[in-house]
Amino acid sequence: MTINCKGELIDFSTPKVMGVLNITPDSFYDGGRYTNDKELLNQTEKMLTEGATFIDVGAYSSKPGATHISEDEELKRIIPAITAILKEFPKTIISIDTFRSNIAKETIANGAALINDISGGTLDEKMFETIAMLKVPYILMHIKGTPQNMQKNPTYENITTELISFFADQIFKLHQLQIKDMVIDVGFGFGKTIEHNYELLKNLKLFKNLDVPILAGVSRKSMLYKPLGLSPKEALNATTSANTIALLNGANILRVHDVKEAVEAINIVNLLN
């Protein structure tokens, strides 16, 4: 399994790491931490050195109940960040965390390589046709609702079968548009209870039947720190535990705040093969 990022084939015969770079003031773990070029570039360099294949840049906070911002504000935050990163580290494969097709268009034009959509095409009806036009890899995540309301009593009959059905439908639509390079993300914490999240983690291997790479994004999330009575800052050990389970159940990409530890988890799991 591979995806083509600006002519470079990324091979998932061994799992890869995506480092999170939030340039939002209010993200749940690292909000407001990377507000100038120096901090931004230091963190990018750290993640690349530690083994990140992708740097996922997000300018719209999607934590539960997050403040909605305009497209102009999102662009104002994200374009200078892409420019700064590519000037300093030209070979960086930048993923853009956005659900808006206009942001996708502008960021790819400015050198980003792939789009990571938390809504899997459900919050902007033009997203799929935009991806088809841009011819870039697309990560489609599942969310129930919007970041503003997703955690208000999310309910499912059977979350695993409902999500497999959702992805099968979306993948079919993408294939109709000749989009081949795609990755799925079950969306841990996006319109799911703690119980839902663990059911998905346990059943992740069932999503392999969709025959596309799987991204797991559990890093420092409340599904880990709440049951343990911790804060996001204290949830690194729990993150590594959950990442290891995800890898054993077929995850191809780990989306994380802590790259070094994720790379180590991959190296240990690879020793089992």
**31: pLDDT strictly greater than 80:** no
Q: Return mean pLDDT, the chain.
A: 92
> Which secondary-structure segment (H or E) carries 243?
helix 236-248
Rounded Cα–Cα distance for residues 194 and 181 (Å):
30
**32: pLDDT strictly greater than 60:** no
> Which secondary-structure segment (H or E) carries 19?
strand 16-22
Provide the 8-state DSSP code for 68: P
Residue 263, both tokens: 């790379």
**Which residues does residue 95 pair with via DSSP β-bridges, in sequence order?**
56, 114
Rounded Cα–Cα distance for residues 111 and 9 (Å):
17
Residue labelled with tokens 């799991």: 269
**124: pLDDT strictly greater than 60:** yes
Mean pLDDT of 74-79: 90
Mean pLDDT of 215-239: 96
Report the catalytic residues: 221, 255
Mean pLDDT of 78-102: 95
**Which residues does residue 8 pair with via DSSP β-bridges, in sequence order?**
5
Residue 145: pLDDT band (50, 70, 90) is confident
> Are 24 and 60 within 8 A, CB to CB?
yes
Q: What is the pTM of this model?
A: 0.93
What is the per-residue pLDDT for 172?
97
- Higher per-residue pLDDT: 36 or 270: 270
**Which residues does residue 88 pair with via DSSP β-bridges, in sequence order?**
none
CB atoms within 10 A of CB 203: 16
2-270 folds as TIM Barrel (3.20.20)
What is the per-residue pLDDT for 64?
66
**177: pLDDT strictly greater than 90:** yes
Closest CA to 141 of 113, 175, 106, 117: 117
Rg, C-alpha atoms of the chain: 17
What's the distance, Cα to Cα, between the start and end of the chain in Å? 17
**Which residues does residue 215 pair with via DSSP β-bridges, in sequence order?**
185, 253
What is the per-residue pLDDT for 93?
98
Rounded Cα–Cα distance for residues 131 and 23 (Å):
23
Residue 63: pLDDT band (50, 70, 90) is low
What is the per-residue pLDDT for 33?
57
> Are 94 and 82 within 8 A, CB to CB?
yes
Mean pLDDT of 38-46: 92
Closest CA to 15 of 208, 236, 235, 222: 208
Mean pLDDT of 106-125: 96
Mean pLDDT of 239-245: 98
User: pLDDT for 1-25, tens place per residue?
Assistant: 999 999 999 999 999 999 999 887 6
Report the percentage of the chain scoring pLDDT > 90.
Answer: 81
**78: pLDDT strictly greater than 90:** yes
Helices 259-270 & 37-50 angle (0-180, nearest 10): 10
What is the per-residue pLDDT for 38?
87
**3-state DSSP call for residue 61?**
coil
**3-state DSSP call for residue 140?**
strand
